[in-house]
Structure 1
Amino acid sequence: MLMLGLHYRWESLGVVLLHVALVAVGVAGLGIAGLGIDFLRSAVDPRSPPPRWPLGIAPPADWPPWRVVILIAIGVVALALLNAGLRYAAAVSSAHFSQRVLVRLRSDVYDKLQRLSFRFFDASESSSLINRAAGDVQAVRTFVDGVLVRVLIVGLTLLIYLIYMLRVHVLLTLACLAASPLLWIGSVWFSRVVQPAYRQAAELVDRAISTLVENVQGAHVVKGFSREPEEIAKFQVANDRIRRQRESIFWQVSVFQPIMGGLTQVNMLVLIGYGGYLVIQGQIPLGAGMFVMANLLHEFANQVGNITNIANTIQTSLIGAQRVFEVIDTPEEITSPENAVALPRAKGELRFENVAFGYVMDRPVLEDVSFVIQPGECIGIAGETGSGKSTLLALISRFYDPTHGAIYLDGHKLTQLDLGDLRRNIGIVFQESFLFSNTVAANIAFGHPDATPAQIEQAARLAAAEPFICELPDQYDTLIGEHGSNLSGGQRQRLAIARALLLDPPILVLDDATAAVDPETEHEIQQAVDSARERRTTILVSNRVSTLRRADRILVLQRGRIVESGSHDELMRTRGYYHRLAELQFGDLLESSAQ
């Protein structure tokens, strides 16, 4: 965070200088007001000490009192106008500065999230990440604006007050500020005491947001099982925990602040006693001395209160800052190497050599996987749930790196290739086709925003999506709901295929694209895949024999290893897992054909 403050050092310096100028003008205004009191006192009682004019510049002795009073009044008004102008400039500059910091931080967090590997997201809750990118970023902005900048402002403000007070009377100033060290020590102690409470409050907010996000995403499940009352009660419990924690913090702050306020009143008692004595003795003036010092001590107490608030802010913002910088400082596991090999257009040859991988140490998902896919070949991958099918695809796109072995594309290790080039060569259709809240055209063109309408329509035709798109109210300009909620599963899948095909990738990967659709939709998607696989290396992950039989070769995974390999007809003759899969899906047809 200090580096962040240094990045904005000139903007923050401008904010600090404006606030310091504002304080200096305020003190000057008090000084002139005190001067007016001393002048009026001397005009009424000639035995009173004469006013101490600033810099020894006094009005002519022959001026009548009313003219001097008018001069002092003009000075007060002029300083008041200057004060108003500086206050406006300080407020605008502070707002501009804090918003720049906020925008920069949010951009940094979002940028980092885009570059982090899937492993990071596997270990993180989406609600926690959302909270860090929104609420916790605000806390960091508060730290930079409300702590780093405010500490400088408070420090320089106290210095200005101290200089003026020392000019009035050194011993009186030291006596009035005798209790100040206790205030500083108390503030530091209190900030350390309440830090664990603030951390716990942040964790409770995370849990509440997690509950909220889960219920929004799973609303159909909640309603389907009539669990609304229980979920409302669950969220209320989370809210109550936050309330109790916040009340506990508020109670601690409410006890601490009056104690600090009581210590500041000791300073005022010293001023009334010792300062009053000095006024009576004629050692300090009533207005420019006693009156101004009383106001400055009051402001001094306010600044000490600001220090307490800063200590409080430090705890809230530090917790948020730690959570934000945990994201920003997370090392990027998957990156392009230095001197990366450029591969604008791959031929499409993929080779796995003794590849092993596990999401958790000592729990391998893939073990000793080796195979070669020739350019233009269509490979089917089958296997029971948890056998490593989707993991294998994730390794091809380099969402993860193997823990052992290597994967090659056109003879180059994936880890040697430019990451952007690699992923632009692969069009991937995930099992769950995620769509954005945007138009149909924008979703198809997500990977190629500069695509022309003709290119978008061509991709839709290849994906067999054009017929249903033409039936939509605004066709390609139709807005689809979040996640494509107003489209059927098959329609979403065809849009996802169109999105993958728009880039004309030499490698097409489909992860169980027909798993959750009806037979008619499956047939339409299969036709789309058949037209799309021409001139491409295609990898089909599925457990539907009707989809797999279209592949040139089928690999069967079991417990992370390849246990079968061959064409549909060859695997049917081996009577292994693939044959059992076909029997389960087409048992009656197989029996009748055998008879």
Structure 2
Amino acid sequence: MNPKNIPTKPKSQDTNAAIDLPQNPSAQTAKLNKDYSNKELMIRMLALAWQYKRGLFSLLAIQLLLLGLIISALNLTGLAIDVIHRGFNPEAKTPEWPFGYQPPVDSSPLQLILIVGGIIFTFAALRFVLERILTVWKAVFVQTMVIDLRTKVYNKLQRLTFRFFDDNESASIINRVTSDVQGLRTFVDTVLLEVLGIIISLIIYISYMLQIHVGLTIACLATTPLIWLTVIFFSRIIRPAFLKNRKLFDSAVRVISENAQGVHVVKGFGLQPNQAATFAAANDKVTAQKNWTFNRLSTFVPLVSFIATINIPILLVYGGYLFIHDPKFNLGSGLIVFATLLTQVAMQIGNIANITNGMMRSLTAAQRVFEIQDAPIEIKSPSNAISLPRARGELVCHNVSFAYSQDSPPVIQNISFTASAGSCIALLGATGSGKSSLLSLIPRFYDPTAGHITLDGHKLTDLTLDDLRRNIGIVFQETYLFSVSIADNIAFGNPTATRDQIVAAAKIAHAHEFIEELEHGYDTLLREAGQNLSGGQRQRIAIARAVLLDPPILLLDDPTAAVDPETEHLILSAMDNAMSQRTTFVIAHRLSTLQRADMILVLENGHIVETGTHEELMQADGHYYEAAKLQIADDHSREILGLAPIASTTKSHLDSEATDIDPPYAQESDAASAEGGDV
């Protein structure tokens, strides 16, 4: 039988709708710290499982068949014992055959035993086949659900805003998508299926026991309420412990993640033993907390089993009395079958301890997964969004202010400017002045807290989000490349691009030459984050990636930072090619980049303090001019400023030139030379 025939997936085949987790509209914050009640989590997990009802019902049907075979085999075993007993003792009670059947009077006990044994063997063979089918189908069902759920959670992460990732640690997010999703599936296979199986089994077992003798059944199950009280008591202790353990595990994973990303810093300072001790301490906290939990479980599980086995002495006393004094209470179909049924009931009740343990794990996992699912999608297209397939590129800021959270001060305040289509706008300012924050508002990584931005006369919030971002190419200061080929990295934003289009983009970015020199050219596989390329090469790949989209708007976040002069020249040349006929915003600190701009915005503490071209701002003798003086130690910058190269200028001549510009320069130039000449 093909296990793939079992229906497990919802009808929709869209990967973005592979599994429909019930939403909670009350989510108000991107921080993953929402509190859920056990009732709420249970309802949502049941709603999740219900989406796979066909698969669940198929598995339950097999469990019912297996249970029927077990009960039938048990009944036949009791009958066989009564037949044997009757064969040895003709005065013994007459065996009761099922369905009122009476064997031929001339049948010997051996013949009857062979018939009953053959039927029991047949039932055992059927059990083997059904149990194998159940095992395979259950594995396929559970893994399909896990893959769908993990895909759904991952897709939700793709739609969440930068604010969500700002507020939550990457280690916690990774754990939730991997191990917590795996923990949530525990609810289906370890809890839900097991609980349904136990309920059905207990109903059938107890019904059979009541059929044998009502009084004996009530007496033997008198201790059952104690088990439920024990389960309730321990569940209130165990669930918070599991939740705390997951948080401690997040911290341990964070240590590993930070060490892997910062390995150069760790080794550079020779702090490997210190980091090992940090990880050991995090691991010890996880272990200590787990030991605390296991100590409680080591009492809980045996206690439930102990309470369940108290019923056995009751059976022996009361059941023995019935066998002696009740003529209808047989040895095999009465006492032995009842004892077997009671043992099965005790085993099923004893499993409640393990199920409770699994339930607490799944509740903890569910809370952490649903926290992601309930995280608000702050940035999205409006219901009546305007489509903008190709923008002209005119972008206007209207009194824009922005803060990263309600509790933090604004990083941008009352900024207004107009960027004409095809113009180049440079942003200059000290660290923390709001340059990168302003750029992040253009592709709607965040939305302004006040004011608005328009593109070609339309508010950004009125446009289709995908259309807006397809009109924007971005090159970040810290370029990230993926562990795929160079060609795939360039085509990341346009996977259908042809090789000719990829090569053309690389040529614009001055990346074609060094790519061709690699052994496998464009098919060269990059290591994690592109570590087998230099910083300048990674930047040019990023420029090619942005150019391939042919966007009318280009955002460049200080692409020449921390590169040598030769690489800077190549990147600037690539930028000139990329900026042609595009509205470009570039964060820059070097005059070689700033003098290319049609308009320069000088930011300070979130405000625009100066606006103009390079020539206008140099004449204004303000913030820009003061910053520009720091770069006079650079020959190219001196040429831009109309000064003689340093190589042909004596120290005294340089001082006199500095005095002609501004007396304080003579002191600042030495400092600028030592610091590398950045504005």
Could you tell me the TM-score, scaled by structure 2's length?
0.86
**What is the alpha-carbon distance in structure 1 between the residues aligned to residue 229 and residue 348 of structure 2?**
15
| Secondary structure of 1:508 counterpart | strand
| Secondary structure of 1:427 counterpart | strand
1:554 aligns with: 600
Give yes or no for the alignment of 1:414 onto 2:460: yes
| Alignment deviations for residues 92-125 of structure 1 (CA, whole Å, 9 cap, x no partner) | 2211221122111101110100000011110010
Aligned AA (1:100): T
User: Unaligned 5+ residue runs, structure 2?
Assistant: 1-44, 645-656, 661-679
1:343 aligns with: 388
Give yes or no for the alignment of 1:247 onto 2:291: yes
Aligned AA (2:626): R
2:91 aligns with: 47
User: Which residue, 286, 298, 301 being the options, matches 2:343?
Assistant: 298
Q: Quick check: 2:556–2:586 contact (8 Å CA) kept in 1?
A: yes
Residues 83-482 of structure 1 aligned to structure 2 (within 5 Å): 83-281=127-325, 282-361=327-406, 362-482=408-528
Residues 499-578 of structure 1 aligned to structure 2 (within 5 Å): 499-578=545-624
Following superposition, which runs of at least 4 residues in structure 1 exceed 3 angstroms of deviation?
Answer: 587-595
Q: Quick check: 2:602–2:611 contact (8 Å CA) kept in 1?
A: yes
Q: 1:2 Cα shift?
A: 2.1
**What is the alpha-carbon distance in structure 2 between the residues aligned to residue 276 and residue 527 of structure 1?**
99
| Alignment deviations for residues 175-222 of structure 1 (CA, whole Å, 9 cap, x no partner) | 111111111221122111222211111111011011111111111111
Q: 1:12 Cα shift?
A: 1.2
1:70 aligns with: 114
Q: Quick check: 1:188–1:311 contact (8 Å CA) kept in 2?
A: no
| Secondary structure of 2:632 counterpart | helix
**What is the alpha-carbon distance in structure 1 between the residues aligned to residue 187 and residue 235 of structure 2?**
14
**What is the alpha-carbon distance in structure 2 between the residues aligned to residue 456 and residue 305 of structure 1?**
64
Q: Quick check: 1:545–1:581 contact (8 Å CA) kept in 2?
A: no
Q: 1:577 Cα shift?
A: 1.8
Give yes or no for the alignment of 1:10 onto 2:62: no
Q: 1:296 Cα shift?
A: 1.8
| Alignment deviations for residues 303-332 of structure 1 (CA, whole Å, 9 cap, x no partner) | 112111111111111111101100011110
| Alignment deviations for residues 66-111 of structure 1 (CA, whole Å, 9 cap, x no partner) | 2111100111101101111111121122112211221111011101
Q: 1:592 Cα shift?
A: 4.3
| Secondary structure of 2:425 counterpart | strand
**What is the alpha-carbon distance in structure 2 between the residues aligned to residue 342 and residue 272 of structure 1?**
80
**What is the alpha-carbon distance in structure 1 between the residues aligned to residue 453 and residue 535 of structure 2?**
33
Larger mean Cα displacement after TM superposition, 6-15 or 403-412:
6-15
**What is the alpha-carbon distance in structure 2 between the residues aligned to residue 372 and residue 559 of structure 1?**
20
**What is the alpha-carbon distance in structure 1 between the residues aligned to residue 626 and residue 521 of structure 2?**
44
Larger mean Cα displacement after TM superposition, 275-284 or 532-541:
275-284
Aligned AA (1:75): I
2:25 aligns with: none
| Alignment deviations for residues 31-83 of structure 1 (CA, whole Å, 9 cap, x no partner) | 11111001100111011101111111122111122211110011110110111
Q: Quick check: 1:395–1:402 contact (8 Å CA) kept in 2?
A: yes
**What is the alpha-carbon distance in structure 1 between the residues aligned to residue 642 and residue 439 of structure 2?**
35
Q: Quick check: 1:24–1:160 contact (8 Å CA) kept in 2?
A: no
Aligned AA (1:319): T
User: Which residue, 517, 525, 533 being the options, matches 1:487?
Assistant: 533
Q: Quick check: 2:308–2:350 contact (8 Å CA) kept in 1?
A: no
Q: 1:561 Cα shift?
A: 0.9
Q: Quick check: 1:355–1:404 contact (8 Å CA) kept in 2?
A: yes
Q: Quick check: 2:301–2:354 contact (8 Å CA) kept in 1?
A: no
Q: 1:579 Cα shift?
A: 1.2
Q: 1:21 Cα shift?
A: 2.0
**What is the alpha-carbon distance in structure 2 between the residues aligned to residue 70 and residue 156 of structure 1?**
31
Q: 1:360 Cα shift?
A: 2.5
Q: 1:427 Cα shift?
A: 0.3
Q: 1:591 Cα shift?
A: 8.8
Q: 1:5 Cα shift?
A: 1.4
| Alignment deviations for residues 398-420 of structure 1 (CA, whole Å, 9 cap, x no partner) | 00100000100000000000000
| Secondary structure of 1:26 counterpart | helix
| Secondary structure of 1:586 counterpart | coil
Aligned AA (2:168): S
Aligned Cα root-mean-square deviation (Å) = 1.2
Larger mean Cα displacement after TM superposition, 371-380 or 276-285:
276-285
Aligned AA (2:560): T
Aligned AA (2:204): I
| Alignment deviations for residues 420-450 of structure 1 (CA, whole Å, 9 cap, x no partner) | 0000000001111100000000000001111
| Alignment deviations for residues 374-417 of structure 1 (CA, whole Å, 9 cap, x no partner) | 11101111111001100111000100100000100000000000
Aligned AA (2:254): S
Aligned AA (1:73): G
| Secondary structure of 2:120 counterpart | helix
| Secondary structure of 1:35 counterpart | helix
Aligned AA (1:24): G
**What is the alpha-carbon distance in structure 1 between the residues aligned to residue 102 and residue 491 of structure 2?**
78
| Secondary structure of 1:258 counterpart | helix
Q: 1:578 Cα shift?
A: 1.4
Give yes or no for the alignment of 1:585 onto 2:634: no
| Secondary structure of 1:585 counterpart | coil
Aligned AA (1:286): L
Q: 1:276 Cα shift?
A: 1.2
Could you tell me the TM-score, scaled by structure 1's length?
0.98
**What is the alpha-carbon distance in structure 2 between the residues aligned to residue 390 and residue 407 of structure 1?**
16
**What is the alpha-carbon distance in structure 2 between the residues aligned to residue 261 and residue 308 of structure 1?**
8
**What is the alpha-carbon distance in structure 2 between the residues aligned to residue 87 and residue 204 of structure 1?**
39
2:671 aligns with: none
| Secondary structure of 2:107 counterpart | coil
**What is the alpha-carbon distance in structure 2 between the residues aligned to residue 355 and residue 58 of structure 1?**
93
Q: 1:453 to 1:591 in 2, by over 3 A?
A: closer
Count, aligned residues: 595
| Secondary structure of 1:21 counterpart | helix
User: Which residue, 91, 103, 122 being the options, matches 1:59?
Assistant: 103
Q: Percent identity?
A: 50
| Secondary structure of 2:405 counterpart | coil
**What is the alpha-carbon distance in structure 2 between the residues aligned to residue 266 and residue 389 of structure 1?**
74
